[in-house]
Amino acid sequence: MITLYGVPFSAYCNKVKIALIEKGVNFQEVPTRPSQEPAMLEKSPMGKIPFVDINGHWLTESTVILEWLEDAYPTAALLPPSPNGRAHARELSTMIDQYLMPAAGPLYRHRVFGAPLDDAGRQAARAAVEKVLLALSRLVKYGPWLAGEDFSYADISAASVLPIVAYATREVLDEDLTTVLPGIEEYLLKLGQRPSVAKTWADWQTALDAWFANQQKA
């Protein structure tokens, strides 16, 4: 049994969740927020989410967890068979995780958690998001998936991050910046047809709705 610690608000937690479902792994979720409490740091040394308990073995960092899953459950592959294909999938996934999500982070935190964001911050976030999306548009090779014929890490990262970027830019900037990606509507529709993605998106939306409902009551 694998236990996933995190929250549906987190793109990186959702990334691991999609991979677990794709692999057909038996797992359970434990709602957990980032923390610097000593008990948390014993399991996640940086106090970050997600982290997993693999039968008593603690593991952190979403990409590292995906690599463990790929090694442990190779038959349901989440990387293409060729070295170039695998590298391209990792390249896209890394760009989405390490550049696109952080670029949209200030907008997302402002919309959901009320984090301060002035006009200069909005414009800086817009420019950063647009820069990464333009870079992604140069790398995308629908075939029909983001890195080619095989559903891969790239699509898992896209499924975890693109809806958040679309939501945050639409809500804060009054414009869905993800529409600059070619073929994005058809691609998202195809993504949403995968049970792993549909389940994770539904859980994310439910968590958002519950959060705002509780905020209104407070």
| Average confidence score pLDDT of the chain | 96
Position 141 confidence tier, pLDDT thresholds 50, 70, 90: confident
- 165 & 67 share domain: no
Count of H helices and E strands in the chain?
9, 4
- The pLDDT of residue 218 is 65
Q: Which residues, in sequence order, are bridge partners of residue 145?
A: 148
- The pLDDT of residue 12 is 98
Q: Is the pLDDT of residue 22 over 70?
A: yes
Q: Which of 37, 53, 72 is the last residue of a domain?
A: 72
Q: Which residues, in sequence order, are bridge partners of residue 55?
A: none
**CA pair distance 146, 33, nearest whole angstrom:** 30
**CA pair distance 166, 164, nearest whole angstrom:** 5
- 45 & 121 share domain: no
Q: Which of 160, 73, 65, 30 is nearest to 108 (CA)?
A: 160
Q: Which residues, in sequence order, are bridge partners of residue 4?
A: 29, 52
Q: Is the pLDDT of residue 189 over 70?
A: yes
Q: Which of 72, 92, 119 is the last residue of a domain?
A: 72
Question: Lowest-pLDDT range, 12-21, 86-95, 137-146, 150-159?
Answer: 137-146
- 115 & 213 share domain: yes
In sequence order, which ranges of 96-177 are alpha helices (DSSP H)? 101-113, 119-139, 153-173
> What is the three-class DSSP state of 20?
helix
- 175 & 110 share domain: yes
Note down the domain range covering 65.
2-72
- 109 & 20 share domain: no
Q: Which residues, in sequence order, are bridge partners of residue 51?
A: 5, 60
Per the domain annotation, does 22 fall within a domain? yes
